[in-house]
């Protein structure tokens, strides 16, 4: 009993702060101009920097520099979103992944993301540790992914596949970006 009480007394409880977060999760400081730029990018990725600058009363160089700063800080990235059906990728799945006890989630996520066809990896709470979104040309490629790639990754305990029957609009949009 005394040993248990001593152990509790010696423990230090630490509150997690933003300094403890990995860079990709740390909050970036954004002002109204940054938010205007982000909202404009969501409406039209090919918008004119000079037109936005004129509308907001700043220079085109200011807009370019802000975009460069936000890209460098990991706030945004401009990517091409394709319709997989139009380019021959008609098979897709969400794969529930459970990890072995003691497995390193970051290492496994990085390994999964390096596999061609893995669109993203989402760490979740609940029955699974990850949901892996995967797209490929056909079920044979999918079989190879599950039987070959996934089974070779140390630390993965089990997988459960949810084959997509249809894919509706693929996009992620924040809408109006508030100040808080």
Handedness of CA 87, 110, 169, 40 (dihedral sign): negative
Token pair 């540790």 is found at: 129
Question: β-pairing, 130-136 with 118-123?
Answer: antiparallel
**Per residue of the chain (180 residues), what is the pLDDT tens digit?**
455 454 455 555 555 555 666 777 788 889 999 999 998 888 888 899 999 999 999 999 999 999 999 999 889 887 777 778 888 888 999 999 999 999 999 999 999 999 999 989 999 999 999 999 999 999 999 999 999 999 999 999 999 999 999 887 665 444 444 444
Please give the radius of gyration of the chain, using alpha carbons only, rounded to the nearest integer: 22
> What are the boundaries of each domain within the chain?
18-72, 84-163
- Contact at 8 Å (CB) between 112 and 130? yes
- pTM of this prediction exceeds 0.75: no
Structure tokens at 116: 């061609």
Task: Kindly give the interhelix angle for 49-56 and 60-72, rounded to the nearest 10 degrees.
Answer: 110
CATH number of the domain at 84-163, please?
A: 3.30.70.920
Nearest to 109 by CA among 100, 122, 119, 96: 122
CATH number of the domain at 18-72, please?
A: 1.10.10.10
- Contact at 8 Å (CB) between 98 and 129? yes
Distance of alpha carbon 49 from alpha carbon 15, whole angstroms: 42
């Amino acid at each position: 009993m005394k040993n248990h009480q001593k152990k509790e007394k010696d423990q230090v409880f630490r509150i997690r702060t933003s300094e403890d977060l990995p860079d990709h999760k740390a909050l970036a400081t954004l002002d109204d101009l940054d938010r205007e730029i982000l909202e404009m990018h969501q409406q039209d990725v090919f918008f004119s920097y000079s037109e936005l600058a004129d509308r907001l009363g700043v220079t085109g160089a200011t807009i370019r520099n802000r975009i460069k700063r936000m890209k460098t800080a990991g706030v945004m990235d401009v990517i091409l979103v394709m319709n997989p059906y139009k380019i021959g990728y008609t098979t897709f799945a969400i794969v529930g992944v459970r990890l072995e006890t003691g497995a390193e989630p970051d290492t496994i996520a990085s390994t999964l993301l390096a596999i061609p066809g893995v669109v993203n990896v989402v760490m979740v709470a609940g029955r699974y540790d990850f949901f892996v979104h995967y797209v490929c040309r056909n079920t044979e490629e999918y079989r190879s992914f599950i039987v070959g790639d996934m089974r070779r990754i140390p630390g993965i305990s089990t997988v459960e596949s949810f084959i997509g029957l249809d894919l509706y609009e693929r996009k992620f949009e924040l809408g109006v970006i508030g100040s808080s």
